[in-house]
Structure 1
Amino acid sequence: MKLTETLLHKAAPYPVVAFDVLDTLIKRDAARPTDLFAMLGADFAKARTRAETEARAAKRGEVTLADIYARPCMAGYDPAAERAAELACAVPNLPVLQAARALHAQGKRIYYISDMYLPKAQLDAMLQKCGYTFLDGGFVSADYGVQKRSGKLFGVFLRETNTRAQDVLFIGDSWRADVAGAALGGIRAWHLPTQELPREGLPAGAVAAFTANRLSRFSGAEAYGFSVLGPLAVAYCQWLYAQAQQHPGARLFFLARDMYLMRQVYALLYPGEATAYLQVSRRSLCPLLLAQKQWDLLLTALPRQSLTGAQIAAYCGTACPPEQQAESYDLKHAPDTARSLLQTLAPPTDADAVSAYLARQNLRAGDILVDIGSGGTTQMLLQALCGIPLHGCQLSCDDRLRGRLSEAETAVFLFDGQPAPLLYWAGQPMLERLISEDVGATIGYTQTAQDITVRQAPQQPTALLAALQQGALRFAESWQASFLQALTIPPAAAVAPFLRLVGQPTAGETALLGDLTVEDGGVYPLAAPRKAGYYLTHARQAGRDFSAARWKIGFLKRLAPLPLPYDRLYARLKNKS
């Protein structure tokens, strides 16, 4: 909106406004033109790049697409494929489109002027596709043999439209070709600011370009969902699909609540693939573990924190002996201290309901369990309770995983299957909340003669979460409808926007997300500090609030919104602790 308003203000005094085409009126879903060639094949990209270099060396002035395809190295290639790819990759630069429409509605004449080897008919088709149906004409260097950068194409434009130079404002993204070239032609120009995209090429550059080209359609939480959650969810689901192809006959079971958004995205990308939603949690499995006296697994299933005897008994669906109700057990550092307590607990009442729910899911050997992951605990518990081997597909893992499950039993998407780095864990509680179903945790099951129902902890829906997830779904829908839909997004490119958010958040991002709460054996805020002045007289409270925050980098940034390397500060604090 701000860019649109700026363009309208700049163009107000001029009866004629002309625009550059690529990276001004329209954009490509590619960081560089050579990325578009690469999408058509490595051999084609090599030949195409060589042919253009040779054509420019052999001809003075602008070359045409016909000149390029006339080179011997392009024998056997059809320019129609490149033209089709250009058309498919073209998307409108929405703020500029809105400004151009408004200027046309004001009665101004609107043209385009482009240094381009593509023929005018091709550019016209791309512009029509992108909504530029109102232009008064266009001038392409390939048609005239002269370029903008020399100023000569601007001269052609002025002569053929019978326009005075002082009546024209030209808008383009290149300082050399657009601003300096227009000046050589006697025309006033305004430089259009552009976003710098990754230069590493495919596929990271294409993902970044695709996201940037559409981000102005969204605002607030939906924009963050589109740009941060969207690439990660699509990439993970692409990987899941590939994993499923390696296990013919296996069914995908997405674990509630963490994999709720991932399942929705998977259904958008692969509508013909059936999946299941497994509403289990470690807590919901504890009664059956207690009934089977699987003490080691039960200790693993309990939260890794300090709990009283009464709290442990509640997790297991039973009551605690009165003399042990208030006793505290450190399940994180000394979990075995609770073993004697577990052995004194009364048989749980819900164990049969757990068994019945699992039986109804009809898990079979080799089925795929889709989990956000860390140590593979849920997979380990289900394998033991169901007596079958499963294949785990986790988003990430920590160093516990390979001590429990082999690489044949589970695969990990992020970080080459290695334990995730510190920065990821600094934001993992936030990620888990953002992609989870916005309902309470599964705490057990109720069995009747007719049915088995899932019991969930009470939780109020959060509008912010719905908007974030809607943004991710919009990314998946747009990706599936784009020229890039066959491109596999690599893990590094997929998780990069999230890691940037975690480690280098803006003040706006911390304000948007910081008040969200997450569950971690209790309910804690992500990043909700009090006013800095309060902590000047309540230093101990600052320590308690910082300890409670589950996004500590966000806490620091929100407390002191300064341009500081909070990710590195957090790493130093973490290493010291």
Structure 2
Amino acid sequence: MKELLRRKLESDPIRAQSYARHRLHHGRAFALYHALKDRDGAKLLHPDRHRTVVFGSESALKRRPSPTQAAKMLADHDVISFDVFDTLLFRCVDDPTTLFHIVGAQLNVLDFPALRIAAEREARRGVPHGEVNLEQIYAQLALCGIDAQRGMRLEWELECACCHANAYLLDIVRMLAAQGKRLIAVSDMYLSAKQVAHLLEKSGYPPFAQVFVSCEHGANKASGELFAIVRRQCGEAHSYVHIGDHPHSDHLSPRRHGFSVLRYANVHTLGDPHRAHDLSVVTGSIYRGLVNAKLHDSDARFSMAFELGYVYGSLLAIGYCQYLQEQRRRLGLDQLLFLARDGDILRQVYALLYPQERADLIYVPWSRSAGIQLLAEAWKPDYFRRFLTHKCNQGLTLTQVFSAMGLEGLLPLLNQERSLDPGSELTAHEETQVRSFLLDHFDQILQCYERRRAGARHLLEPWLSSPGRVGVVDIGWTGSAAIALRALGEQWGWQKEIIGFLVGSDALQDHLQGGRTCGAHALGILHSYVFSSAQNRALWKQHDPASGHNVLAELLFASPAPSLKCFSQTAEGATQLCWKPKEKHSERYAQIQQGILSFTKDYLRLVPEVLRQRRIQGDDAYAPLRLLMDACNRPYLEEVLSWMKDNHV
């Protein structure tokens, strides 16, 4: 029966991959069940379908004692034993076999992960107790023609680079070491005790009295024999306690040999049900490794807004900034202008990733409404669509609408000529009359906007008037900001070539109506990172503005600072910026930004350069958002979208 199941898995690569992934954290039976239960493979091909996220704070679900409380419980025993991997040490990936892909690429060996796993399995068959070291594993790989010495060196270097301390347990171990407690580490591992001790020391742990590894003792934790050896060597009369993450090897087995147990729930077991899995192997493993550790490693509790940024906005922010840097080099851009307000967090992330370019990153006040006012004459249809059509039947009075347009002075004339009460609501009927009135008095509108144009010109001229090329960074969706700046530059005789960058553009609805950005993309005026009508079309078709997808992306990058209402100019000729009122949920926006910055810093600190050399692809960066967009997560999505419902006209 066992052989038949093995053959079935080997004949189906999708199920084999599922088995390998689940086997690592959940055991053989669980892995086999999930690999075989879905006959058509739909769940395996679409792993995030119907996967639910935690409504509220995911980090609040765990129940861990504080480090001080845990240290006090452990200190009651003579010998304190710790599991190593996924307990004392975390890797920056959720699946350690991910590292085999990097080793194989460095060795220029095809299918190295499969060969490495098979070599370990074969090596274990050759010894009675099934415990082997790294040399024995690579002796099997040498039979395939692989350079064993180089392979071992590369794997060890990568292991050293990817391991870091569990900050929660690091505090606990330091407290116990300060009390003079006897601390030991116990691990089922093919690395030597000396190597494991080096990883612990490199990660900041104080010295452990002893390190027990299964490959050196020919016994493992799963059988309990390694715990028996620990008692014989450390003294049968002592009291023992063990802390680890595996339900069998770290909980049941030590109890059978007289150990007390303090359970440490595996961070990936806790976080995996809520994580996006529809990503490429390396990027997905890094993403889940960092997120699961952040949310579940300690007793820390994070707000829903912080987690929204850390879990769902961060990968998109990093990937977009990597894309921007790549495009900047390719196109020879002198500077990058990050437009308010979305550009606030993007500029901060870019500066963290590429600090040497900080002087060339400019944060520019901007808003779509302010830009349309500057181009009211050239963009009349868009002007009326923005300020009238979109405001109809929204419960807004004519006074509010005219105030947003900066035309309060025309209200008495409107009442006189069209008998419209400024306090009345703007409906479709009134909209027709107002539009007719404004067209009749468009010269007066342009006079009202003269100081606004002068203020904008004074502000933008230092960056856009001289020869060269500059990139304008926005989120989406029509590229109106970059095109507006190009139009203004042409009117004012500026020489700078302006190229716009977006996360995504040209929604399907716009495309069916003729496409609003197709020409700009074709001419290289606009470039999209994740999708457009000519790029990543599967994502482009899924993205639905009517379901709040635009607003979700805008929320992830919203600045806590108020939005720009308009430009103006003082009597002395200086630029004056007029801001809208501060929004109700601005504090949440700040927490979202904190989450994005926290992930970025963790990414740079914990992920070795060899794993982050290539750019995060748009499909990967967008995968966490796709998870939120699933119908089963609609309550979560509606809650966060409600934070953007402030409408300061």
Equivalent in 441, 453, 457 of residue 344 of structure 1? 441
TM-align CA RMSD:
3.8
Q: Does 1:379 align with 2:482?
A: yes
Determine if contact 1:203/1:488 at 8 Å carries over to the other structure.
Answer: no
**Secondary structure of 2:164 counterpart:** strand
Label 1:502 to 1:13 Cα distance change in 2 as closer, same or farther (>3 A): farther
The code of the aligned residue for 2:502 comes to Q
Q: Superposed, which structure 2 residues align to 1:47-446 within 5 Å?
A: 47-60=115-128, 61-71=130-140, 72=142, 73=144, 74-75=146-147, 77-164=150-237, 167-183=239-255, 185-194=257-266, 195-196=268-269, 197=272, 201-215=281-295, 216=298, 219-220=302-303, 222=306, 224-249=308-333, 251-273=335-357, 274-290=360-376, 292=377, 294-302=379-387, 304-306=390-392, 311=400, 313-318=402-407, 319-320=409-410, 321-323=413-415, 324=418, 326=422, 338=435, 341-345=438-442, 346=444, 347-348=447-448, 349-350=450-451, 351-362=453-464, 367-387=470-490, 390-397=498-505, 398-399=507-508, 402=511, 403-406=515-518, 407-408=521-522, 409-414=525-530, 416=536, 418=540, 421-422=543-544, 425-426=547-548, 428-429=550-551, 431-433=553-555, 435-442=557-564, 443-446=566-569
What is aligned with 1:3? 64
> How far off its partner does 1:459 sit?
2.6
Label 1:131 to 1:502 Cα distance change in 2 as closer, same or farther (>3 A): farther
Determine if contact 1:439/1:456 at 8 Å carries over to the other structure.
Answer: no
Label 1:488 to 1:210 Cα distance change in 2 as closer, same or farther (>3 A): farther
Aligned partners of 2:568 and 2:555: how far apart in 1? 23
**Secondary structure of 2:477 counterpart:** coil
Label 1:389 to 1:96 Cα distance change in 2 as closer, same or farther (>3 A): same
> How far off its partner does 1:206 sit?
1.4
> How far off its partner does 1:115 sit?
0.9
Aligned partners of 2:116 and 2:568: how far apart in 1? 62
Aligned partners of 1:68 and 1:142: how far apart in 2? 11
319-328 or 276-285, which moves further after superposition?
319-328
What is aligned with 1:558? none
Q: Superposed, which structure 2 residues align to 1:467-546 within 5 Å?
A: 467-482=591-606, 483=608, 484-486=611-613, 488-498=615-625, 516=643, 518-520=645-647, 522=649
Aligned partners of 2:546 and 2:120: how far apart in 1? 43
121-130 or 40-49, which moves further after superposition?
40-49
**Secondary structure of 1:51 counterpart:** helix
Give percent identity, aligned residues only. 26
Q: For 1:198-219, what per-residue CA distance to the aligned partner results, in whole angstroms no more than 9, with x for missing partners?
A: 6674221211111222344673
Greater relative CO (CA pairs within 8 A, separation 6+): 2
Determine if contact 2:244/2:250 at 8 Å carries over to the other structure.
Answer: yes
> How far off its partner does 1:263 sit?
0.9
Determine if contact 1:438/1:465 at 8 Å carries over to the other structure.
Answer: yes
What is aligned with 2:51? none
**Secondary structure of 1:113 counterpart:** strand
**Secondary structure of 1:253 counterpart:** strand
**Secondary structure of 2:384 counterpart:** helix
Aligned partners of 1:7 and 1:424: how far apart in 2? 49
**Secondary structure of 1:233 counterpart:** helix
Q: Does 1:18 align with 2:81?
A: yes
Aligned partners of 1:332 and 1:214: how far apart in 2? 54
Label 1:334 to 1:22 Cα distance change in 2 as closer, same or farther (>3 A): farther
The code of the aligned residue for 2:455 comes to A
> How far off its partner does 1:434 sit?
5.0
> How far off its partner does 1:464 sit?
4.3
Q: For 1:49-102, what per-residue CA distance to the aligned partner results, in whole angstroms no more than 9, with x for missing partners?
A: 343233223334311111122231331634222212111111222333333334
The code of the aligned residue for 1:219 comes to F
258-267 or 380-389, which moves further after superposition?
380-389
Aligned partners of 1:423 and 1:16: how far apart in 2? 59
Label 1:421 to 1:210 Cα distance change in 2 as closer, same or farther (>3 A): same
Label 1:155 to 1:284 Cα distance change in 2 as closer, same or farther (>3 A): same
The code of the aligned residue for 1:283 comes to S
Unaligned runs of 5+ in 1: 523-577
Determine if contact 2:242/2:262 at 8 Å carries over to the other structure.
Answer: yes
Aligned partners of 1:384 and 1:336: how far apart in 2? 29
Determine if contact 1:309/1:329 at 8 Å carries over to the other structure.
Answer: yes
Aligned partners of 1:174 and 1:332: how far apart in 2? 68
Determine if contact 1:3/1:95 at 8 Å carries over to the other structure.
Answer: no
Q: For 1:413-459, what per-residue CA distance to the aligned partner results, in whole angstroms no more than 9, with x for missing partners?
A: 34536156349953654653553333222221215556323332343
Label 1:282 to 1:189 Cα distance change in 2 as closer, same or farther (>3 A): closer
Unaligned runs of 5+ in 2: 1-61, 491-495
502-511 or 12-21, which moves further after superposition?
502-511
State how many pairs are aligned.
519
